[in-house]
Every structure is written in C-alpha cells, then in structure tokens.
Amino acid sequence: MSFNAGILAAAQGGADLSYIWGKATPEAKVIIVILIGFSIIAWSLMIQKSFQMRRAKRYNGYFETEFRQQKTVLAIFDRNLPVEGCPLFAVYMDGCTDLEARLKLPDGTRKPRLSLKSVEHVKRQIEGAVAREALRLESGLILLAIAVSGAPFMGLLGTVWGVMDTFGGIAQAGRADLAAMAPGVSAALVTTVAGLLVAIPSMFGYNYLVHSLRILTVELDNFAQTLASRMETEFLPDDE
C-alpha cells in the first residue's frame, strides 16, 4: 500500500466513524461518553498502581537487605531515616515504635527485656501494620474490577437500545431493507465495541496488579514473622 493510499484509507475510516457517530442515538452517545470516562480512569489507575507497586517492590528489596545486615532490631529505627513508599519500612516503624514505647524507662534508657505479654502486644501492632499496608496497596483496584465487569454490560445496553430504536423506526417507516437497517445497527454496535475496548485492557491490568499485590502481601507477611521472631529473640527472656 502506497503512502497516499494509506492516508486515504485512514481518512475513510475517520469518515466512517463520524458517520456512525452521527447515526447513533442520544442514549448510545451518552453511554459512549461514560465509557470514555471509564477508560481514562482505568488507564490512569493502571499506570499509577503499576508505578506504585514496582517502586514498593524495589524499596522492599533495598530495605530487607539493609535490615538483615543489622545486629539489633532497633538499629535502623535509631537512625530516624525518612523513607516513603516502602511497605516493609512502614511495618518496621510501626512495630519498633510500639517496642520502643514499651522498652523506654523514665530516665530515657531502655529495658534489656520485655514480658511475654508486651511482646504479644508488639506482634499484634505489627500484624495491624501489615493489614494497613496491604489495604493501601489494594486501594483503587475496585475501580478496575468495576470497569472489567461493568463496561461490557454498558456497551451491550447501548447496543440493545440502539437495535430496538432501529427496528422501531423500520416498523414506523414500513420498509425493511439493508439500507434502512445497516446505519442504525452499526451505530448500535459501536457501544459494544467501546465497552470491550474498556474492559479488555482493564482485565489484563487488573490481573497483573492483583498478582503483584499478592507477591507484596506475601513479602509483608514473611517480613512481619521475621521481625517478630527477632524481637522475641532479642528482648524475651529465655525462661518465657
């Protein structure tokens, strides 16, 4: 295909879409505009959550490597490092903040040991921090799930509505030929195409993000167990 032929074909395709849009019913146009809004939201969310989870995974790797090199649990906590976007660090800080509050004496020093009850309280604080970080990572995915499940049905609604109007117009005109049916039916089918164009990318993006979320959640759970185990080893008396 020559360059001029390609330009002509693209222009013809744009003209066809303009013609179909002109033949669409007002209800179909409203549904298409809503689906365009869904598409913008879905793509924005997929890009944002993808960057967020990739950053969280990278920061988790850095922090876990640093944490395993420390001789004491509170070594990183005592350095007062400002770190954002790292779920493991957020869990660590919540657990160590509660641990510090239970270790601290009125004179500013720390107890060498804690009771089993205090350690259990710290472990529950860590578990709560894991749940909060998992919910923070999961936030927004419900919108993608709505786009995946709802967009095709909205497109189907527009198609059924358009076909119904087309057949109603044909019945009123008293003639049923291809020239009378084709414009209305093709305009009605556009809403189904629009619904699928929203749902299909959202489905792939949602599955990818859910898989990434599952990996990060497992990392959070494993780190929480490691952190609690090191706290018990360091601060719980051997006879408890």
- Tens of pLDDT along 72-89? 999 999 888 888 889 999
DSSP category for residue 108? S
CA distance 190 to 193: 5
Question: Model-level pTM?
Answer: 0.80
With respect to residue 164, please indicate whether it lies within any of the assigned structural domains.
Answer: yes
CA distance 207 to 42: 13
Residue 15, pLDDT score: 46
Number of domains in the chain: 1
Residue 177, pLDDT score: 58
Residue 1, pLDDT score: 46
With respect to residue 116, please indicate whether it lies within any of the assigned structural domains.
Answer: yes
CA distance 35 to 159: 13
With respect to residue 240, please indicate whether it lies within any of the assigned structural domains.
Answer: no
* Structure-token pair, residue 79: 């350095």
Residue segments in the chain with a per-residue pLDDT below the cut of 50? 1-15, 240
Residue 94, pLDDT score: 93
**Domain of 229, in residue numbers:** 3-235
Determine contact, residues 213/87, Cβ cutoff 8 Å.
Answer: no
With respect to residue 117, please indicate whether it lies within any of the assigned structural domains.
Answer: yes
Residue 122, pLDDT score: 92
Residue 3, pLDDT score: 34
- Tens of pLDDT along 41-51? 999 999 999 99
- Residue 91 burial (CB count, 10 A): 27
CA distance 85 to 175: 65
Residue 12, pLDDT score: 44
- Residue 149 burial (CB count, 10 A): 13
